[in-house]
Structure 1
């Protein structure tokens, strides 16, 4: 039996749980065991049970889980998800702020099982095996956007070619004559940060230039962090003539540090960012940056959820290319500066 023919009493008989327990599971109550919830939810889904008066085509929604929504970067990602969702009349998008770059809050999994979204996009965060099992048991697919660690073979993930982006940024500065190139990485525990740094070191190695530890600082992908780390770099007796900031937000902090140190960009300090968020082109001067296609990445993540839920074949891991966007924040060294290298 399916659809309106199935009653809660049928579900109770099929699962062996009481009618009261079945009702609690249906209404998202928390005072039942996870085992009971999983069993009952599966039976409800497989029987295509519908509440009395329920629409046959209910609204579906994608839940996007951010660490925070306070940055331009996060809004760029959200716009990409919305762009894809708009193509489907019955799919909408909600957002959740939860946890850190590594993992959502511990109580998030219980909340999402009550909300029962069509699918979930995690920004950076990875999940425990237990959380993955719960989502899979409840038919909730998920995608990790720019995973902080190496995704497993069973995960769905979307990211940019961060290593190539690091190479592009550093080669550009080297081609302009810079050899004292500082870098402000992202958090060391994040895979994208390590990949961008590896691209930086690879480009230096191509030219036989050793990495100077004094020119390497770890940031946190924020403007405040970029300002603090750039200030430290610029205090070096032989300061860098160029800085590769691991994100555009960090590059904005470099601009402020340069201003406070009386340094003109690009005449006395060249700066390269990473991301190409919408405001980068409107800085003074406009920021040279590595573009990772955030809108396309986010749209791809949403499309993977939809294809998975609708049983269409899809790739498990998508890596999109990065490109260098040259603007006004970089220029070649003058002869007098080159002689001091």
Structure 2
């Protein structure tokens, strides 16, 4: 019997490829009747993901690489398990590589914009490990050219980061959120609550992706509220507790009138919060704090952290399923965007009683 692929299963069942993938990966969000029909077809045709006939056509390994920005990012750590589960159930291995050390040296590179391009690191990873596909969790890809993408030679998915809008979208896939809009909504919430002196802990010129987008959202929110940009309200960290702690101390020294601070990641927000508390100030009574990502720590930090929630599980599942579809040659490149939600918790409060002025 001629071997069939996941696209054939989908056609025979009258459903989409993603539905077949969900059944294979035992996701609960498939109707029982549909699930039973797909499983019957899989059994009838003896379909095995990643069959040997397909392997004979490839010189690469069956390993998908995951290039992770930063030595340890809790948000990406939450994604890894779901992605690995989907890939392994479809016959693929997973190799991870951490890009960047999340230290003071990384902050120096962010400030100076002098560091090896992430797309070049991706190419070396693919060549060294003979990968059949690559997923990038985070990273800076705004300087990527179409020639760079063609050179990779394998399916690429960028997740939780951005690619330059001018790049041909048929050359890569993406799974992300609207970082600029989410940051805009978070800072607009602070403005609506009466805050006028709002600081930001962000990244430097070397961060061409998420940091830039979230900073742009911050500035647009202030402009929309009629608040002028104040250079003293900006400081930089490198997605770590330590660098954000130092950045918050600098902000408190140069702008003691701040009533709120927006950090572009939860890790940075927690580092900033420690600096505030170590000064003998109270959160949120003296300074409100907002983070971004809604990592597990956010709901257990004291005070619980107001933050932007990304749908981490949905992003991970979509990324894994999309990679399987690309490797099976049954999916074209896609660009998926998920909504976010502002989780209002104990680290923020209104400043209206003071007319928007410092308390």
Q: 2:294 aligns with which of 272, 276, 284?
A: 276
Count residues with an aligned counterpart. Answer: 287
1:81 is aligned to: 83
In structure 2, do the counterparts of structure 1 residues 107 and 223 end up closer, same or farther at CA, with 3 Å as the change threshold? closer
Distance 1:115 1:182 in 2: 43
1:54 is aligned to: none
2:180 equivalent to 1:163: yes
Deviations 1:287-338 (A, max 9, x none): 0001122332233222222111112234432222221011110111273574
Deviations 1:125-176 (A, max 9, x none): 546666533432xxx3121223365162222222211011111111111122
1:34 is aligned to: none
Tell me the TM-score normalised to structure 1 length.
0.74
Deviations 1:2-56 (A, max 9, x none): xxxxxxxxxxxxxxxxxxxxxxxxxxxxxxxxxxxxxxxxxxx9993799xxxxx
2:56 is aligned to: 48
Deviation at 1:215, TM superposition (A): 0.8
Deviations 1:160-202 (A, max 9, x none): 1101111111111112211111111234432222221222122
Distance 1:211 1:292 in 2: 27
The answer to whether the 8 Å contact 1:80/1:297 transfers is no
Distance 2:183 2:135 in 1: 26
Deviation at 1:108, TM superposition (A): 6.3
- The 5 Å alignment of 1:1-341 reads 48=56, 60-85=62-87, 88-98=89-99, 103-104=117-118, 109=123, 112-113=126-127, 115-123=129-137, 124-126=139-141, 132-136=149-153, 140-147=154-161, 149-150=163-164, 152-153=167-168, 154-188=171-205, 189-333=207-351, 335-336=353-354, 338=356, 340=358
Distance 2:357 2:196 in 1: 11
The answer to whether the 8 Å contact 2:187/2:222 transfers is yes
Distance 1:117 1:208 in 2: 50
Distance 1:170 1:106 in 2: 35
Deviation at 1:107, TM superposition (A): 7.3
The answer to whether the 8 Å contact 1:181/1:241 transfers is yes
Distance 1:195 1:262 in 2: 32
SS of the equivalent of 1:290 reads strand
1:17 is aligned to: none
SS of the equivalent of 1:171 reads helix
In structure 2, do the counterparts of structure 1 residues 47 and 118 end up closer, same or farther at CA, with 3 Å as the change threshold? closer
Deviation at 1:245, TM superposition (A): 0.5
The answer to whether the 8 Å contact 1:120/1:142 transfers is yes
In structure 2, do the counterparts of structure 1 residues 131 and 339 end up closer, same or farther at CA, with 3 Å as the change threshold? closer
Deviations 1:192-213 (A, max 9, x none): 2222122212222222111111
Distance 1:76 1:114 in 2: 26
The answer to whether the 8 Å contact 1:81/1:295 transfers is no
The answer to whether the 8 Å contact 1:102/1:148 transfers is no
Distance 1:332 1:167 in 2: 18
Deviation at 1:217, TM superposition (A): 1.9
SS of the equivalent of 1:311 reads coil
The answer to whether the 8 Å contact 2:71/2:99 transfers is no
In structure 2, do the counterparts of structure 1 residues 221 and 177 end up closer, same or farther at CA, with 3 Å as the change threshold? same
SS of the equivalent of 1:235 reads helix
Structure 1: stretches of 5+ with no match in the other structure: 1-44, 52-57
